[in-house]
Chain A
Amino acid sequence: MSTSDILWTLLSLFFIGLAYFATFAFVAGLLWRLYGYLRTPMPLPHSLTPAPKTEGGAVLRVLGDVTLFPNLFKADKWLWAGAWIFHAALVSVLFRHLRYFTYPVPGIVLYMEPVALFFGILFGVAALFLFWRRLGLPRTLYISNIPDYFILVLLGLVAATGLMVSYWMHVNIVDVKSFILGLMTFRLVEVPRHPLFLLHLFFILVLMIYFPFSKLMHAGGIIFSPSRHQPFQVQVRGKRYKNPVERY
């Protein structure tokens, strides 16, 4: 075995370890935080009005919040555009990544191939816009702190390295896929010998570990936000809000 073989084996061990740790931290952390939201009661019905009168209406409101960001649209059109494009592109890019995790690859993922580059670039541009907005607007500059920049930079680096290994310094996709499927089936193989790809992977794993302990929990938190998921039912005859807390 040459020195470089030993180096790659060590690197593989590091990345395999980190990948399992990151997955565990992400899944367990996320479930732990979401369970925390779920088990915490509301002492009083939340009445931010006007609001839907029925449970179904409240579910629709949350669905609308998750997909369209209507409150942000009311608040700031530019921010809404930047944020919506950012999230939509992120979802598209994540969805397209299914081709590295599935075998056989679903047809719909393959159909996305021609526009994948577009979504990747869109994501990067939107991240840049959001970063610029933080610095450019005195109000957002004042409230922005290290975590805000850290996450945007991290996501920007993920996007940049991802685009580079896909469209410029190509990584061998067969190697990538066999590495990932190996992780998933516990039949471990060596990491692809491509430093830029490893950087891409590293940034993602860091993001996964950081996720449950950061403001990225807005992704799950929005579903549990009482001012969005509770209908306004306090005045309906016979309908009494069951207070789950004996004494506040």
Chain B
Amino acid sequence: MAKFDETPIIKDPAVKGELRPPKIREHASAEVKCHPSKPKDTAAINLPSELVPDWQERAIARFGELLDKNQALRVYMDACVRCGACTDKCQFFLGTGDPQNFPVARAELMRKVYRRYFTPAGLVPGLGDAADFDEEMLQKWYTYFYQCSECRRCSVFCPYGIDTAEITAAAREIMASIGISTKYVTEVVAKVYETGNNLGIPPLAWIDNSEFLAEDMEEITGLPIQFPVDEEGADILLIPPSADNFANTDTMIGYGKLFHFLGVSWTTSTYCNEAGNFGLFLNFENLQKVNQRMLEAGRQLGAKTIIWGECGHAWRAGILTPTLSGSMDDFDPPYPYHISQYIVDMFRKGAFEGHIDKSANDEFLVTYHDPCNSARAGNLLDEPREIIRNTCNRFVEMPRNTIRENTFCCGAGGGLLTDELMPIRMAGGKPRAEAVKYTQANYLATVCAICKAQLPELMKYWEVPVQVGGVIDLLANSLKLK
């Protein structure tokens, strides 16, 4: 794997926190593509399994439908003046130097087609700046719309708030409708319908894992910390990202200790044990179907409240739940409810007073990585920081232009967390790695399962010695259980 660019991304952050854009290297990442989807997966999620014969007409027709149904897409096709404000903002350009990873260049792939088929400007060659939707263009779409993590950092800097994620999502929607999708995303969505979660953990294995965790906890703490599954009538249904029960078990233990400490009844569901919604990265139909499962699980078990676990894009889809999946009025407010918000509410009620030992986390110098989705699409900016400040003595922020709404994506969001995209992931994560390196922190806290999967590999690749973990892990660490 070639390192894309060796120049430092953060130039003297102590003074200005400026980012130095790399030199333009055309076609630098043109060959990094996702594996195409497999027929067994596309069949399971109602998509054509191969490029349909009349794909050009169907794509343009679908494009037209979306233009009539999505104000963002319609406005963003016209409004860009190509001022270049976004050109040094995307981590995938900063990492690869490929100018097609300018947010504006990415969007232009779609705009050229838009101008050709939907505006009179398409009739004037040159002046209209239009292009046919041919095989070459489709290839570019497939490459570069799957090198975008839909993180929306560019839209923070756009004078018109042009949201490249809306454009990328529409392009993927159109591609999906003509039989072009990626193996990773379709596989994951298909697994959700089959097993209830992205990782394909069958219900029995989930129950096994949960029991194993409980035994472990009993051994370590001597306390009956439970990880209930499918418990009818529990007050709280927790929907974590399934990785928490499998890879990030510290986070799962965190949930367990938290609810044990508060003495509330809670459960997970084997019907829906996945907060992450990969429909978001594929098409609207699957976004809606996957989201629907959360409310169904809540109603099956008669839970009073549904709480979303530490997962970034889960929360991005989660806050849309009442619109996507109908009223949530049969659940207790507030809703949708995120675990970080829940913990902060408990702090404000004084539930933890006298039971937090901050010095338990003294070995850590903690910094916080804002996952793109929870920060820029879910307004979770202060809550995780409040939890960290309440549970740790040593907390340090990364440079100002790399946190909160200016945060850099970890490099693997938006359906890019797949091995064949490794060069893009490592290059795209470079700004984040540089920012972490600058703080010299040894604990990188975050609230997203995709970040938690990507960041350890990223930090190893860029040689940043730091441990990655959840925010709730820190809470669990400092909590004096009773």
Given the complex of chains A and B, what is the CA–CA distance between A222 and B72 in angstroms?
Answer: 11
Say which residue of B74, B121, B152, B320 sits within 8 Å of A44 (CB atoms): B320
Chain B residue with minimal CB distance to A217?
B78
Q: List A contacts of B284 (CB < 8 A).
A: 43, 248
Known pairs A139-B102, A143-B102; A47 contacts B323 (CB<8 A): no
Q: List B contacts of A142 (CB < 8 A).
A: 24, 87, 99, 102, 105
Q: Does A166 contact B (CB under 8 A)?
A: no
Q: Does B349 contact A (CB under 8 A)?
A: no
Given the complex of chains A and B, what is the CA–CA distance between A217 and B115 in angstroms?
Answer: 13
Count of A interface residues, CB-CB < 8 Å: 60
Assess the B376–A49 pair: CB atoms within 8 A. yes
Say which residue of A72, A143, A241, A245 sits within 8 Å of B82 (CB atoms): A143
Given the complex of chains A and B, what is the CA–CA distance between A92 and B129 in angstroms?
Answer: 31
Q: Does B202 contact A (CB under 8 A)?
A: no
Q: Mark B85-103, 1 if CB is under 8 A from A, else 0.
A: 1111100000000010010
Given the complex of chains A and B, what is the CA–CA distance between A213 and B121 in angstroms?
Answer: 6
Known pairs A47-B377, A48-B377; A42 contacts B72 (CB<8 A): yes
Q: Does A175 contact B (CB under 8 A)?
A: no
Assess the A237–B333 pair: CB atoms within 8 A. yes
Assess the A232–B379 pair: CB atoms within 8 A. yes
Given the complex of chains A and B, what is the CA–CA distance between A137 and B102 in angstroms?
Answer: 14
Given the complex of chains A and B, what is the CA–CA distance between A76 and B21 in angstroms?
Answer: 13
Q: Does B8 contact A (CB under 8 A)?
A: no
Q: List A contacts of B136 (CB < 8 A).
A: none
Given the complex of chains A and B, what is the CA–CA distance between A158 and B31 in angstroms?
Answer: 45
Assess the A40–B83 pair: CB atoms within 8 A. no
Q: List A contacts of B72 (CB < 8 A).
A: 42, 46, 225-227
Given the complex of chains A and B, what is the CA–CA distance between A75 and B406 in angstroms?
Answer: 11
Q: Mark A141-175, 1 if CB is under 8 A from B, else 0.
A: 01111111010000000000000000000000000
Most buried by B among A45, A71, A145, A217: A71
Please give the distance in Å from B284's CB to the nearest CB on chain A: 4
Q: List B contacts of A49 (CB < 8 A).
A: 375-379, 381, 405
Q: Does B334 contact A (CB under 8 A)?
A: yes
Please give the distance in Å from A189's CB to the nearest CB on chain B: 33
Say which residue of A71, A139, A146, A248 sits within 8 Å of B127 (CB atoms): A146
Given the complex of chains A and B, what is the CA–CA distance between A37 and B71 in angstroms?
Answer: 6
Given the complex of chains A and B, what is the CA–CA distance between A148 and B80 in angstroms?
Answer: 11
Assess the B158–A143 pair: CB atoms within 8 A. no
Assess the B108–A46 pair: CB atoms within 8 A. no
Given the complex of chains A and B, what is the CA–CA distance between A19 and B153 in angstroms?
Answer: 43
Q: Does A94 contact B (CB under 8 A)?
A: no
Please give the distance in Å from A40's CB to the nearest CB on chain B: 4
Known pairs A46-B72, A234-B319; A71 contacts B88 (CB<8 A): no
Say which residue of A44, A139, A215, A228 sits within 8 Å of B84 (CB atoms): A139
Q: Does A224 contact B (CB under 8 A)?
A: yes
Please give the distance in Å from A247's CB to the nearest CB on chain B: 8
Given the complex of chains A and B, what is the CA–CA distance between A146 and B81 in angstroms?
Answer: 12
Assess the A237–B161 pair: CB atoms within 8 A. no
Q: List A contacts of B74 (CB < 8 A).
A: 36-37, 40
Given the complex of chains A and B, what is the CA–CA distance between A41 and B74 in angstroms?
Answer: 10
Q: Does B421 contact A (CB under 8 A)?
A: no
Known pairs A72-B85, A245-B69; A234 contacts B320 (CB<8 A): yes
Given the complex of chains A and B, what is the CA–CA distance between A142 and B70 in angstroms?
Answer: 29
Known pairs A49-B376, A76-B85, A143-B82; A224 contacts B161 (CB<8 A): no
Given the complex of chains A and B, what is the CA–CA distance between A98 and B87 in angstroms?
Answer: 38
Please give the distance in Å from B152's CB to the nearest CB on chain A: 6
Assess the A145–B161 pair: CB atoms within 8 A. no
Q: Does A13 contact B (CB under 8 A)?
A: no
Q: List A contacts of B127 (CB < 8 A).
A: 146-147, 150
Q: Does A214 contact B (CB under 8 A)?
A: yes
Please give the distance in Å from B23's CB to the nearest CB on chain A: 8
28 pairs from A and B in contact (CB 8 Å cutoff): A33-B78, A40-B67, A40-B74, A41-B71, A42-B72, A44-B323, A45-B323, A48-B155, A48-B376, A49-B375, A49-B376, A50-B405, A69-B159, A71-B158, A71-B159, A75-B85, A75-B159, A138-B24, A139-B99, A142-B99, A147-B129, A214-B121, A218-B81, A222-B159, A224-B75, A225-B160, A225-B161, A248-B69
The 4 closest A-B pairs by CB, nearest first: A221-B79, A75-B157, A227-B161, A75-B85
Q: Which residues of A contact B (CB under 8 A)?
A: 33, 36-37, 40-51, 65, 69, 71-72, 74-76, 79, 83, 133-134, 137-140, 142-148, 150, 213-215, 217-218, 221-222, 224-228, 232, 234-235, 237-238, 240-241, 243, 245, 248
